[in-house]
Structure 1
Amino acid sequence: MEQIPPLAPPPAFPPTAGTPPMPAPGLSPWGPPALHRLEIPLLVLAILVTALTYLVAISLLATGRLSTWVGILLLAPLLVYLARGRMYAAQRVNGVKMSPTQFPDGYRLLVEAAARFGMAEVPDGYVVLGNGQINAFASGHGFRRYVVVYSDLFEVGGLARDPDALAFIVGHEVGHIAAGHTSYWRQLGMFGANYIPVIGSSLSRAQEYTADNHGLCTRPAGAAGAIGVLAAGKYLMGLVSFDAMADRAVTERGFFPWLVNVLASHPVLTWRAAALRDRSRHGRIFFRP
C-alpha cells in the first residue's frame, strides 16, 4: 500500500431539481462521511446472534449431536480466514494491479478517495475481467486492504461516458475499507447472522448506505451516473433520470417491493437514489422513504 499525498479539496455537489434540503450532520459531501445511523446497532445485533449460534453449536457438540451446520459454525474462524486469503491471492495472481503506469486513472481515484477519508495508506487496487458485468468490491486479508474493479467499469469511466460515476464507485469501495467493513473480526462477527433472514441483509444495507456516503464525499457529481449504470448498464446509463429514480421511492408501494428490499444485501436502487438526493436524513433500511 502506498502513502497518501496531501488531501485535495472535495469537488462541488451536482445540482438537483428544486431546492435540496439541508444536509444532516455527517451527510454533507463536504464533511467527514457518516456511518449510517443503524449500522452500529445492527452490527451489535449481528454479533449477539453470531455469539448465540456459537453457544448453541458448542452445546450441541457437548451433547454429541454433531452436524454439518455445527461443524461449519465451529470452523468459522478458519473458514473466513482461508476464504479471505484465497480471494486476495486470486487478485494478486490474476488481476492487473493499478499503479501510476497501469490503469493510472483508477489508481489516481484510489489515492483521491483514501486522502479524502484521511487513510494512512492507499489500498491496493486490481482490475479483473468483467465480461460485461458491472461490479466492484472491497476486501482484505491480514493487514492488507484492496479494491477490485471489473474492467467494464473503466468503459463507464471513459471520456465518452461518465468518469465521475467511476470515481463515485471507487470512493464507495474505498469507503467500505475506511469504515471497517472489510475487517476479519467484523466479518467473523457477522458470520452467524448472515444465515438469519433479515438481520444479516439489513446490516449489509446499512453498510452500503455508509459506503454511499463515502462515495458522495469523494465525487458528489458521480452519484447520478452510478445509479444510472447500476440501473441500465454502461451503454444506456445516460438515458436514466436520477430524479425520476429517486421520485419512485415513494410511489413503488406494496408488500413485495418491501420484501425485495428487506431481503437484499444492497438497498433497492430507488431507495438508494432517494437517499443520495435527500441528505437531510439517513437512507431507509426497513420502510420506504
Structure 2
Amino acid sequence: MDLSVTTATAEAVRAFRERLGVPGLVDVHTHFMPGRVLDKVWDYFDAIGPLTGVAWPITYRHEEEQRVALLREFGVRAFTSMLYPHKPAMAAWLNSWAADFAARTPDCLHTATFFPEDGAAQYVRQAVGAGARVFKAHLQVGGYDPNDDRLDEVWGLLAEAGIPIVVHCGSGPVAGKYTGPEPIARLLARHPRLPLVVAHMGMPEYADFLDLAGRYAEVRLDTTMAFTDFSEQFSGFPPQDRGRLADLGDRILLGTDFPNIPYPYEHQLAALERLGLGDDWLRAVCHDNGARLFRLA
C-alpha cells in the first residue's frame, strides 16, 4: 500500500466531509467477498481491456483487513459487502460468508444475495431473519431475467420487508441478455413497492432508469462510477438530464465500487461535486439519504 497516496486520499475525503458537515460517508456499493471469489473478479477486470477496449487497473488491490481499514480511514461510517453468484448453488454459501463478515465488521451493512434457483426464497428468508439489511443482484454477471418465476417469492419477500436491493441492471460495461430498463420495468410493474437501488445510475441507460425512479417512489439510484473521468470517456451522463438529478436528490445514494476502481476513492466525490448541484444535494447523496434508508443512528 502506497502510504503517501493513501494519506492524500484520506485528507481529501476528510476535507470534503468537513466542508459538508457530515459525520461520515454512507457508501452503499463496496465489495467484500470470499478471497477466492474476489480473486476471480479481479482476474475479470485484469482482462477487461480485451473485453471492452478499456484498461481497468484495480486501485485498492489489498488484503481484506487493509481494505476495511482504508474505508474507516476515509471516514466511511457505513458500507456494504456487495457479492453475487454467477451460477446455482452458490448464493447460500456467499450469504453465510457475508453474515460472518458483517458480524466481525460492525460498520458493514449485513449484505446478502440470491440466484434464480429452487430454494432461493428459503435462503433469502433465512438471510432476512439473520439480519440482512441490503441485497445485491447482478443481472449481467448472473445472466438471468429478474422476472424468472423462481424469484417471484423472493421479490415479494423483500418488498414486504422493505429491504433494499442494489441491482446491476444497466448494460455497462458490457451488455447482457437481461440488462437494460425493460426487464426491470416489467419487474416493477408486478412489484411496485420494491425498494430497488439501480447500480451505476443505470449506466449507460441513465434516462430510462431516471424515468423509472420518477414513476416508482421506492426506486433509488447509486452513483457508482458515474460522472467520473473514467466512465465519461465511454458512457457519459447526458447533460440535458442533470436537472433530473436535482429533482431526485432524495433518492440518489453514494456508491463507489471500492476496491474495484481504476482511480483514487476521492475522485468519485470530486465527480459528484463538479456537477454543481450544491452542498445540500451532496450532503443528501453522500450521507443523509443512506443514513435514512438504513436507519443509522
TM surpasses 0.5: no
- Which structure is larger by alpha-carbon Rg, 1 or 2? 1
Q: Which has the higher contact order (CA 8 A, sep 6+)?
A: 1
TM-score by length of 1: 0.28
TM-score by length of 2: 0.27
